[in-house]
Structure 1
C-alpha cells in the first residue's frame, strides 16, 4: 500500500489529510501526518483569544480526534531525502528514525519573520501560536493588576504601554483587540483611567492593511485614534532593548509588551531537504501543487500553504504568487487531496485557482471592516460579518459550536478576565509548603 507522508498539520496539512480520508478507497493508501503539535491552530482567532473573547482550546482542532484514519505522529521532520524517499523524524523523547514514503506532502507552514533589531529577539512575542495569544492575554491582565498598585509614574506607564509592530491584517487585528480588551478592563480598576493606558502600532510603510482600499485603511486609523490607539506610519523600530522603544522618528518610550507581526517566512525545515526552493526559501510548486525544479516536475512530491510558492493564476498575487493566508491554505489542501488521489488513479490533476472575494477584519467588540472590490462596509455590520465568516470557517462542527457558544456566553456574562500565568510554574505552590526530610 503506498505511503503518503504529510509534513505539517496546519491548515493545508490538516485539510489534505481530512479529504484524503474521504476520497481514498479502503486500502488505496496509508496516510501519516507528522507535526510537533497535536492540534491545528485556527490563526484568525488568535487576536480574539488574546482579548479574552474566545476560550483558547476552542481555537485549536485536535488532530487525533478528527483524523480517524490517519496515523498522527507528534514529532518534527528534521530532514527529507527525496532522492531515496526517506524522511528523518525526530520525536521530543527518543532517538530520530528514518521513515520511508512513496508520496510526500510538504505543508510545514510559516514562522515569524524578524530583522536583527536590538532587543526584539529577547523582548518581543509573535502571534503565530495559541501559546503566544494566551501569553499576550495574561500579560495584559497581569500588568493591569501590577499597575493598579502603583502611583502614577514611569513604572506604571511602562506596564500600561503596549506596542505592536506591523500594520498588516494580523497586526491591526491584534492591536485593535488589545485596545478593546484594555478598555473593558478599566471598569475593574477604578484607580486607573483611560488616559493611563497607551497603545502604539509601528508600521514601516505609509499605510496599513494593503488588502483593503486606502479610504478603508484611513477609516481604521481614525477609528483607532478615537479609541486612544496611535498608529505610527513610515516609522521603523530601531531598538527594543529591555523594553526601551526607539523609533526612527526619534521618539522613545518604554513598554512591557511588544507584539511582533511584521511578516512571515517559510518554515526553515526546508533547509534540511533536497527539495527545490526559490529565492525566498519557499518550496517551488506549479499550479497543480506538484513540486518542480529546473527540469520539470519532481515525481511524488507536493506542496501547499505558506511554505510553498504557489502561482496565483488570478494575476492578483504579490509577485505572482498566492499570499500566505488561511483562505489559500485551506483551499489548496482540499485541492491537493483531490490531485493526489487523481494521480494515484492515473488521472490528471487540476490547477489551483481562487478568486479572492474580499477581506474582513475584526477590530474589537462591535467594530469591523470589510472590503470587496469597491464595496466597503465598516462598523458593527462588518464585525458581525467577520464573526460569521470565521465562526463557520473554523474546521469541524464541534469547534464551530464551541466558538459560537463562547460568543453567546460572553455577550450574556461578559469577558472572562481571569489570568493564569502561574500555570507556567504549576509546582511552585506545592514546593513552597511541601515537607522535606531533615538533613
Structure 2
C-alpha cells in the first residue's frame, strides 16, 4: 500500500507522524511531498516578528522526526486521482509523476491577496517563518534609520506600521509589534513615542470574530489606549509606493505593510485535481475526513486542514465547518491517521468531533485575552495562558524546551534587537570587498534592494 501525503504542515506532519507509530512493518509505504521540509508552528509567528521567539524554534524538521517516511522536496502541481498519480515539481525544477494507492491532501491554504493596486509590490504576508523574520528586520532597520533623521514626514513614514486584517493573526502580530516598538524606545533616545504610528485595518465592523462582541470591543480599546489606531469598516483601496488609501477617505504613508486578510483556497487543490471542491475551492470532505459526500464518497482519498471543508459536528449551526486554525489541523491530522489505519485493517472509521478549548491571543509582552464560552480573562494571566497552551502544543519536547529557554532569557536580559537585513543578499559584502562605496551601498537603506528584499518572499512561500 502506497500512501501519498501532499503537504507537510500541521495536518500533514501529524498524519505522517501518527502513521509511523501505528502502521506495522511492511503494512504501507508513506511519502510526503512538501517544498520546505519542515512544519511551521504558525501561532508563534507573531512572536517571531517581535523577537520573543527564535525563528528556527518554531519549525520542526520533517526528516528529523519522520524516520521511515520518504520525503520529496517539491510542490504538487496536479493530481489525477482517477489514475492514482500526482505530478510534482521538485525544488530542483524537475517534474515527477508519483503513483499511489491512497491519497492524503493536507496542502493548506494560501494568503488571500486581493487585486488592490500596490499590495503585491509592498505587502508582506505572515504564513511562513521567513516572512516573520523579514517583518522583524524591517522594523528594527527602520528604527536605525529613523534615529539618524530629524523629526518630520520621513521619520514618521519609517516608523509607521500597517496591519491589514483583524483576525487572530493580524491582531496578535499588531499587538506584538506595538509592544516591540514601544520597548525599543529605551534603546533609541532620539525617537519618542509620538513618532510611532500603528494602524490596524479591518473591513468588518469588529475585530477578532472568534470572540464575542464584548471582548472584541475591549481589545480595540486596549490597543487604542496604547497609542494605536484601529480602522474598522475600512478597506485598503491602494498601497502604491507605500501610500495607504482607505475606503473611509483616510490616507497615510507606511514603511511596513503586513497583509493578514484571511485565507484563500490552495490554487492547485481548487483548479488542478479531479477531486470535488466547493464554491470556495475547498475539498468536499465527510465527517470521517474521507473526500466526497456521504452519498458519493471518493475511494482512497482523504483530506484535512485548511484545504478541506470539514463538517463541524460540535457546532449546532446547520452546515457548519471547522474553522481553519491549529487546534483543528493538529487534531484532524491525528484523527486522519487513525482512520487510515482502521480502514486498512477493515475496521470502522470514526467521525471527527472536537469541542473548542477556547480562544486565546497575545497582544504583546504581558498582555493577552482568553475566552471560553462566557469566561473571559484579560491581561497578564491570559498572556501566560497563551504561552502555556502553545508551548504544550508545539510538537516535540526539544522544541518546547528551546522556546522556554528563549522566553526565560528574554525576561532576564530583554529582547535581542539586532536586525540582519543582509541575509537577503548574503554575497553582497563579499562582492563589495575592497571598495568602500560598494561596501556602504551593500548594506542598503530601507528602500534599497536589501531593505525591500522581504517583499520578494511573498511568492516564495508554501502556505500551511
Partner residue in 1 for 2:455: none
Q: Note closer, same or farther for the CA distance 1:116–1:316 as it changes in structure 2 (3 Å cut).
A: farther
Q: Indicate the larger mover: 392-401 or 212-221.
A: 212-221
Partner residue in 1 for 2:173: 174
CA distance in 1, matches of 2:346, 2:434: 66
Partner residue in 2 for 1:100: 99
CA distance in 2, matches of 1:284, 1:216: 33
1:291-310 alignment to 2 at 5 Å? Answer: 291-292=291-292, 296-310=296-310
Do 1:317 and 1:323's aligned partners in 2 also have CA atoms closer than 8 Å? Answer: no
Do 1:82 and 1:274's aligned partners in 2 also have CA atoms closer than 8 Å? Answer: yes
Do 1:109 and 1:306's aligned partners in 2 also have CA atoms closer than 8 Å? Answer: yes
Shift of 1:20: 0.2
Shift of 1:125: 0.9
Shift of 1:316: 5.3
Partner residue in 2 for 1:132: 131
Partner residue in 2 for 1:164: 163
CA distance in 2, matches of 1:163, 1:94: 36
1:46-125 alignment to 2 at 5 Å? Answer: 46-125=45-124
Report the 3-state secondary structure (helix = DSSP H, G, I; strand = E; otherwise coil) of the residue aligned with 2:400.
helix
Do 1:266 and 1:308's aligned partners in 2 also have CA atoms closer than 8 Å? Answer: no
Shift of 1:26: 0.6
Q: Which segments of 5 or more consecutive residues in structure 1 lack a partner in the other structure? A: none
Report the 3-state secondary structure (helix = DSSP H, G, I; strand = E; otherwise coil) of the residue aligned with 1:32.
strand
Report the 3-state secondary structure (helix = DSSP H, G, I; strand = E; otherwise coil) of the residue aligned with 2:3.
strand
Q: Which segments of 5 or more consecutive residues in structure 2 lack a partner in the other structure? A: 436-464
Q: Note closer, same or farther for the CA distance 1:412–1:55 as it changes in structure 2 (3 Å cut).
A: same
CA distance in 2, matches of 1:134, 1:173: 15
Report the 3-state secondary structure (helix = DSSP H, G, I; strand = E; otherwise coil) of the residue aligned with 1:188.
coil
CA distance in 1, matches of 2:183, 2:391: 23
Report the 3-state secondary structure (helix = DSSP H, G, I; strand = E; otherwise coil) of the residue aligned with 2:186.
helix
Shift of 1:236: 1.2
Report the 3-state secondary structure (helix = DSSP H, G, I; strand = E; otherwise coil) of the residue aligned with 1:207.
coil
CA distance in 2, matches of 1:320, 1:352: 13
Shift of 1:95: 2.2
Shift of 1:315: 2.1
Q: Note closer, same or farther for the CA distance 1:346–1:294 as it changes in structure 2 (3 Å cut).
A: closer
Query: 1:221-241, CA deviations, whole angstroms, 9 ceiling, x for partnerless residues?
Result: 111111111111111111111
Partner residue in 1 for 2:286: 286
Shift of 1:387: 0.2
CA distance in 1, matches of 2:190, 2:409: 28
Q: Give the TM-score of the pair, scaled to structure 2.
A: 0.92
Are 2:238 and 1:239 aligned?
A: yes
Report the 3-state secondary structure (helix = DSSP H, G, I; strand = E; otherwise coil) of the residue aligned with 1:323.
coil
Partner residue in 2 for 1:401: 401
Q: Indicate the larger mover: 104-113 or 115-124.
A: 115-124
1:349-368 alignment to 2 at 5 Å? Answer: 349-368=349-368
Query: 1:349-398, CA deviations, whole angstroms, 9 ceiling, x for partnerless residues?
Result: 10000111210001100001000010000000000000000011001111
Partner residue in 1 for 2:148: 149
Report the 3-state secondary structure (helix = DSSP H, G, I; strand = E; otherwise coil) of the residue aligned with 1:324.
coil
Do 2:286 and 2:293's aligned partners in 1 also have CA atoms closer than 8 Å? Answer: no
Report the 3-state secondary structure (helix = DSSP H, G, I; strand = E; otherwise coil) of the residue aligned with 2:114.
coil
CA distance in 2, matches of 1:369, 1:86: 46
User: How large is the Cα RMSD of the aligned pairs?
Assistant: 1.3
Q: Note closer, same or farther for the CA distance 1:240–1:3 as it changes in structure 2 (3 Å cut).
A: same
Partner residue in 2 for 1:344: 344
Report the 3-state secondary structure (helix = DSSP H, G, I; strand = E; otherwise coil) of the residue aligned with 1:215.
helix
Shift of 1:33: 0.5
Shift of 1:293: 5.5
Partner residue in 2 for 1:33: 32
Q: Note closer, same or farther for the CA distance 1:375–1:53 as it changes in structure 2 (3 Å cut).
A: same
CA distance in 1, matches of 2:345, 2:266: 31
Shift of 1:116: 1.1
Query: 1:241-283, CA deviations, whole angstroms, 9 ceiling, x for partnerless residues?
Result: 1111111111111001111111102211112111111100001
Report the 3-state secondary structure (helix = DSSP H, G, I; strand = E; otherwise coil) of the residue aligned with 2:110.
strand
Q: Count residues with an aligned counterpart.
A: 434
Q: Indicate the larger mover: 215-224 or 196-205.
A: 215-224
Partner residue in 2 for 1:334: 334
CA distance in 1, matches of 2:197, 2:355: 39
Q: Note closer, same or farther for the CA distance 1:188–1:316 as it changes in structure 2 (3 Å cut).
A: farther
CA distance in 2, matches of 1:142, 1:206: 34
Report the 3-state secondary structure (helix = DSSP H, G, I; strand = E; otherwise coil) of the residue aligned with 1:167.
coil
Query: 1:157-207, CA deviations, whole angstroms, 9 ceiling, x for partnerless residues?
Result: 110110001111111000000000000111111010011000000111111
CA distance in 2, matches of 1:305, 1:250: 38
CA distance in 2, matches of 1:210, 1:203: 11
Q: Note closer, same or farther for the CA distance 1:234–1:319 as it changes in structure 2 (3 Å cut).
A: farther
Do 2:156 and 2:195's aligned partners in 1 also have CA atoms closer than 8 Å? Answer: yes
Partner residue in 2 for 1:324: 324
Partner residue in 2 for 1:381: 381
Shift of 1:295: 5.6
Q: Which contiguous aligned blocks of 4+ residues in structure 1 show a shift greater than 3 angstroms? A: 316-319
CA distance in 1, matches of 2:381, 2:91: 46
